């Protein structure tokens, strides 16, 4: 069985080799982001594995199907980059990855602390021997209300992590989760917006959640609200974030993922010209912490992502199903 793995990072290589031996498959590893121009490379492969930066739309999926690809694994939890309906119609079975929520949840708390304690500004000052305190006063987390939007495994782990801080927590999701109820009261989204000092996003990107953080929802939030996003950039309209920070309505932003990041994140662009005005404008504010979509990036997660990427294709081919099959 031959599997073509796109978007391979060097640090995934050892895990790919281990999976190759475990399942006795042939893996072709390629750093390229999958697109129509390089689709032919997957000719002769029964499975393709991707890592989220390419768009697997109907056209690309049709090309893969014509080349003989029958299985697609994304080594990510999120699968908004794949047209699942098209894959199903084309007879391509798709699975995603599953990895412990701790990496993303830990990172979320780090961003939250950096925002609440104005640490970006403090860190920059210290680099030029400025150890002043002016403008750096923060808040005790125990005095804050934290609104958690999305109470799947990451949202719940964030609440568990935060439970030691003694803050009030509110939760919102279309499905209530018993674990979340240990830590938070379920309320509607309007209540989250109205009452939260910090709002942290842990919901998948779907047509319903796309840009649900926008000018209207931000205007319904508390003055000085802190927004943390370690889920998907497109949950928040970047124009609304820029306006919110400029006006002071938003007190701070902790963004591990920001709308328009495709083609920027996970690469060294020091010598590149990058045209993305909003993204670069947003990141220059002293109260905005933007990271390169790295909340997931722990040793444990990387191993699991690669494992699911290979094992998923193997199991779907050999048994017709996989624990994270999506169609």
The footprint of ligand COI (CB under 6 A) covers: 51-52, 76-78, 293, 296
Q: Which residue has the tokens 């400025």?
A: 130
Instruction: Quote the CA–CA distance of 215 and 76 in Å, as a whole number.
Output: 30
Nearer to ligand COI, 77 or 242 (CB): 77
> Min. distance of Cβ 201 from ligand COI in angstroms?
12
Catalytic residue among 75, 120, 125, 293: 293
Task: Check if 293 is active-site.
Answer: yes
Task: Check if 270 is active-site.
Answer: no
Nearer to ligand COI, 118 or 229 (CB): 229
Q: Which contacts qualify for 324-327: CB closer than 8 Å, 24 or more apart? A: 324/95, 324/96, 324/97, 324/98, 325/93, 325/94, 325/95, 326/79, 326/82, 326/84, 326/94, 326/95, 326/96, 327/84, 327/87, 327/88, 327/93, 327/94
> Min. distance of Cβ 52 from ligand COI in angstroms?
5
Catalytic residue among 125, 232, 259, 311: 232
Nearer to ligand COI, 93 or 293 (CB): 293
Instruction: Quote the CA–CA distance of 32 and 29 in Å, as a whole number.
Output: 9
Nearer to ligand COI, 262 or 317 (CB): 262
Catalytic residue among 7, 12, 259, 261: 261
Following DSSP, what letter does each residue of 247-288 receive, concatenated? HTSEEEEEESS-TT-TTTTTS--TT-----HHHHHHTTSTTE
> Min. distance of Cβ 78 from ligand COI in angstroms?
3
Task: Check if 232 is active-site.
Answer: yes
> Min. distance of Cβ 147 from ligand COI in angstroms?
21
* Residues designated catalytic: 232, 261, 293
């Amino acid at each position: 069985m031959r599997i073509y793995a796109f978007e391979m990072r060097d640090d995934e290589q050892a895990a790919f080799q281990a999976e190759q031996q475990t399942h006795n498959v042939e893996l072709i590893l390629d750093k390229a982001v999958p697109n129509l121009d390089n689709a032919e490379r997957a000719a002769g492969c029964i499975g393709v594995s991707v890592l989220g930066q390419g768009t697997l739309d109907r056209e690309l999926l049709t090309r893969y199907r014509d080349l003989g690809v029958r299985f697609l694994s994304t080594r990510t939890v999120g699968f908004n980059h794949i047209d699942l309906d098209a894959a199903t119609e084309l007879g391509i079975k798709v699975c995603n990855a599953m990895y412990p929520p701790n990496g993303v949840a830990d990172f979320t708390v780090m961003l939250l602390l950096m925002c609440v304690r104005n640490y970006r500004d403090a860190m920059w000052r210290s680099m030029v021997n400025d150890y002043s305190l002016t403008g750096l006063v923060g808040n005790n987390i125990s005095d804050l209300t934290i609104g958690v939007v999305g109470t799947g495994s990451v949202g719940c782990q964030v609440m568990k992590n935060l439970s030691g801080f003694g803050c009030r927590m509110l939760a919102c999701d279309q499905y209530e989760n018993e674990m979340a109820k240990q830590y938070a009261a379920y309320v509607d989204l309007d209540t989250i917006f109205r009452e939260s000092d910090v709002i942290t996003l842990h919901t998948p990107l779907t047509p319903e959640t796309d840009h649900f953080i926008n000018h209207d929802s931000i205007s319904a939030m508390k003055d000085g609200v802190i927004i943390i996003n370690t889920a998907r950039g497109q949950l928040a309209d970047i124009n609304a974030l820029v306006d919110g920070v400029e006006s002071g309505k938003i007190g701070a932003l902790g963004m591990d993922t920001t709308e328009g990041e495709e083609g920027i994140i996970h690469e060294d662009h020091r010598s590149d010209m990058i045209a993305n005005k909003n993204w670069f404008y947003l990141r220059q504010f002293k109260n905005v912490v933007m990271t390169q979509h790295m909340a997931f990036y722990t040793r444990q997660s990387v191993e699991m992502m690669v494992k699911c990427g290979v094992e998923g294709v193997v199991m779907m081919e050999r048994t017709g199903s996989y624990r994270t099959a999506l169609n």
